[in-house]
Chain A
Amino acid sequence: MATIGVLIETEEGKVKETNFGVLTAARQTGSDTIIALLLDGSADNAKDVLGQYGAGKVVQVSVSSGDMSTSPDLAARALAAAIENFSLDALFGLASAIGRDLFARLAALKDLPLVSDCVAVDLAAKTVKKSHFSGKTTATIKLSAEVLLFALRPNAVEAVEAPTEAAVETFAAAVEDPGQVKVVETKKEAADSVDLTEAAVIVTGGRPIAKAENYKILEECAHLLGGTIGASRAAVDAGFAPHSMQVGQTGKTVSPRLYIGCGLSGSVQHFAGMKTSKVIVAINTDKDAPIFEKCDYGIVGDLFEVVPALTEVLKEKL
């Protein structure tokens, strides 16, 4: 029976919700030994919530010298040591900005195969599925190695609870920092902003949003749904939104459960970044807008009327 490690990401000490889907995916491989690894935050605080999703063991990984939060190479070395120590057959994690980077460092360090941004894992067959060609095709990839690495696309696997009693352990990795890459500063924009690539719901405003303040209208709606807001390149280029909000070929690739596009024409480049969303809704004044050809639900109307109405209804019904 396989022993699977899951790298848990925390934010301000709290376990990010997107981890629960990753724990679920690890469990769905049939393994009954799930070891959650924490590099930051605290295993004691995380123990209950991780146990809720089937982690039998929660391990606080530490290093004797150096700081993993400012040295990704040190963190990768600590993970490599943990893989050996716990004889892991696979390590699962999130394909977030941090996770993608850490998994790639680990894969390069140990020369192990890695599938980044994968959406389904079959550990017995050693096959994994992921998007190729910006969502136009799905690739099935066969891996052959002793230890396999998977960075899962956030929200790709729906979290399912499987309560178990988690035991906390510590593991001190005897590793050294090569000291060549050092994070000297981390700046946060807004404290409560959900990361676009990890959001379960995204409400996006295109060119007709017309000014930066108008995103508040979308934000109110997105917050009620527990999500965040996005923008098209046309809106970013016009200065209505920062580039960090751009979805598409030259922006973020997202895959939320629900994507609501308001005032988007439906360009190929925008869709390259969000077409793998589970449900896509479009709101557009033009009944012939191309976006209606490639989404799931459409409303013909002015976003400045439809979105506030949606917010009202959500307030009443959620």
Chain B
Amino acid sequence: MQIYVCVKHVPDTAANIKVVGENGFDDAGCKFVANPYDEYGVEQAVQLVEKNGGEVIIVTLGKPAAVASIRAAMAMGAHRGILVTVEDQFVDSQITAKALAAAIGQDGKADLIFTGKGAVDTEGFQTLYRLAAAMNLPVVNEINKMDMADGKAIVGREIGGGARERIEVSLPCVLGATKGLNDPRYPKFPDIMKAKKKPVKEIAMADLGICADAPASELLKLEKVPERSGAKMLEGDVRQAVEELVRVLKEEEKVI
């Protein structure tokens, strides 16, 4: 099987984000990781190839530093990587998807494509749908269960309120992974060393014939959300504190 996994290089969710200028952030000063949801996709792909044979290829669009997330995914068992390089910090999902589709199309024939359910930096929740449309493939997102039979994938997904769906989707397809699908492995030291020698092909986005001018969605402004500055403590015995809480929530905050 030839399985492609789209992995985005994103700031760690625990990292502090320092806004720079109108619509940028200090990416040199913050720790980056492979998007956590994409790791479930990597693990699933590696397990499928361990069982059925084949190759797992990581595809990333980002600045040159994003190669670190490709290496991390290769340490988990992926075979090689493709890095589509851009200069911008933010590339909108319509352009990203077209570039990812072009990079995959140019590389080979996909039996399956995994992504994460969403990127934890820009929280777009759509790139995989656009990728699927660009490649004329079906797509299912937020899968936490997967089997394959009769040329189909049978996937499970949660739809809120504890409800679950079971979905049949024809292959090849694009699947967005989320927690519950598997337990992503922690690479061991020798795997990390081996990953350094695995091939990564770099392609500039412009060389894929994708134009990044005039995006349909454009980040105008990025603003820090002010942190809460500490709680107002409600004093007294339990009964007093709770009565005061109910009063404040009702009369001042008007949330109950």
Q: CB within 8 Å of B: which residues of A?
A: 73, 95-98, 100-101, 104-105, 107-109, 111-117, 127, 130-145, 178, 180-190, 193-198, 201, 225, 242-244, 249-251, 257-258, 268-269, 272, 275-276, 278-282, 292-301, 305-306, 309-310, 312-314, 317-318
Contact = CB atoms under 8 A, between A and B. Distances in A.
A197 B125 CA distance: 15
A180 B173 contact: yes
B149 interface: no
Contact of B232 (A114, A257, A296): A296
Interface stretch (B56-64, B79-87, B239-247): B239-247
Contact of B36 (A117, A132, A249): A249
B206 interface: no
B256 to A, nearest CB: 6
Interface stretch (B10-18, B41-49, B102-110, B190-198): B10-18
Given A268-B13, A297-B245, A299-B245, A137 B129 contact: no
B3 to A, nearest CB: 19
Contacts, number: 245
13 contacts: A97-B159, A108-B133, A113-B94, A130-B123, A133-B13, A138-B225, A142-B218, A181-B138, A272-B13, A275-B225, A292-B231, A298-B231, A301-B238
Given A244-B158, A313-B243, 4 more contacts: A134-B120, A138-B223, A181-B169, A269-B13
A312 B245 CA distance: 13
B164 A137 contact: no
A58 to B, nearest CB: 24
B230 A293 contact: yes
B232 A187 contact: no
Given A111-B94, A292-B233, A184 B167 contact: yes
Contact of A137 (B19, B124, B166): B19
A139 B232 contact: no
B55 to A, nearest CB: 24
B225 A182 contact: no
B54 interface: no
A135 B166 CA distance: 31
Contacts of A183: 165-167
Contacts of B165: 183, 185-187
Contacts of B139: 105, 108, 181
B228 A294 contact: yes
A15 to B, nearest CB: 16
Contacts of B94: 111, 113
B142 A107 contact: no
Interface string B198-224: 000000000000000010111111111
